[in-house]
Structure 1
């Protein structure tokens, strides 16, 4: 008994020390969790490209290979984002001066087809007449509204700055994941094997297949839908089709988000009086863009993993609610991993009951 108590006390102290260290480590690293997870997702999705670079440049040149891959990611992601920001800024300035001139001159106008709409048309015309009759009052109201929402503008600027910092840390982590990714995976696999045993090999294989199917399924579907929708924007003569295509790609990551993009474009075309182009964008969107999801997703996701669409939808929506934009990938992956472990567990052969030896 005297030996047992010091042994128990030693285990309690050791466990307490481990828990304290875990808590302190989390307190230090919690601000970097989102960039690290983004880096893991990007590295996972682009790993086949990195393997191709390793074969061309030499598998022993870890730093060079990681640097080349990181530059490729920066040009692929950073340049479109920078182009989009510059374009939105220019378009915003042009729109501001255009609306300001119309307000000051009292020449605000709406398309004829809106003015001829039942119920809405007369009300819109009445409001427009009041605006044009007293543009100074409208200007004062607009400036008062902007002044009252100034704090929101500061909040938006602060969020943009924080996201730029997160992006920088993501790229930094991405470099080390490319360079040392295999070593980290081997260490992680060895640690799990010590805890769970050799059965972990089969679990890791199943989880890897499931994760790959979900990530590639969501990403590839969104990419194809964005490209198809972008073709219609280009043919219809929509301004800045590249930027709108990028927005479509982001919306396509969310279930039922793609129609929001091409329907908005169609409404804008209607507002410009280009009815034929608007109808063409809608027909192409519902007939080709949205139906491509029903072709690509079952091929990529529902192959041997057979993940229900309902699970993917709940994972995406719940992930966005819990984790933000990164939840688009985290949510479905978590639910898919739970489903994979559940299937493996119920399919394991039952252990035979113990039979005492015959005397």
Structure 2
């Protein structure tokens, strides 16, 4: 089955056409800077600069470069599935309405995810559309991990995100370790512009750092991660600041170092910028703290898994984050860690009790796989 995967973000659309039976990637690309004066569409090995006024314009441009390619299904990344969506589902009007109702929980993502679905429906009438939810993997969180200590009538809980990435790398990690997923305990560190830590027990999410929204947990590109809940009221009283906006768009690495991209932070730190050095130290300290906490949650850890752009490519972040964890059986091999490889690999010491793995995530493949499963599980009509 040929599946067109659409990963529609707040200012980007990433797409890939995948033959799920053979694994062949038939086409892939990315539209960036949607809504800006000069956007960029990169398709396979070529690129086109243009203005993409909105997501519909970007998706129409993607369909144009795909030409006569006709997928048998379209799989959509949808960020927030709330309580209702615990697995991928074939899209109908009821599903779309439910995703729209969840928009307050992911205001930057769910509305554009719906826009992607609408455009694809018009472009491929009669072709099944499937929604694959970032939050679905974490529906196994036990009540003691998903419950906030707040009044029940607020009807809020912890959901978690990056679930599609966690599902993919957990499968790959268990294969690298040579054991079944049901026998494997992992701590997955998805480190990119958004960042999260997840404790996985026997293939199921046991705890995760993001909560009701993607703001909680680790330090991120522009998001603060964990802060004192009293900060919002303090900022409102003393500075008239909208904390939701400030903690989402103006915080994280951007607030500490002046730039949100870890590559730029690293360069500034290497050049002697003290703010950038502190930013990396804060970032890695938070990761190390979560690793220790999730080790306690799981009781036994078989591997720490680094994934995402920063996790896969920044050996310094990996080294700083794992420093001082030798007593827990977590020891990096400096030579392996610094090796400029881009594939799946172990970077732990050969005699380390806990493996430290680097696994490039492949959310598009996981979305395609779940899309096919959802279609095959549709009840017969």
Q: Normalised by the size of structure 2, how large is the TM-score?
A: 0.29
Higher helix share: 1
Larger Rg: 1
Q: Which has the higher contact order (CA 8 A, sep 6+)?
A: 1
Which has a greater percent of strand?
2
Q: TM-score, normalized by length of structure 1?
A: 0.30
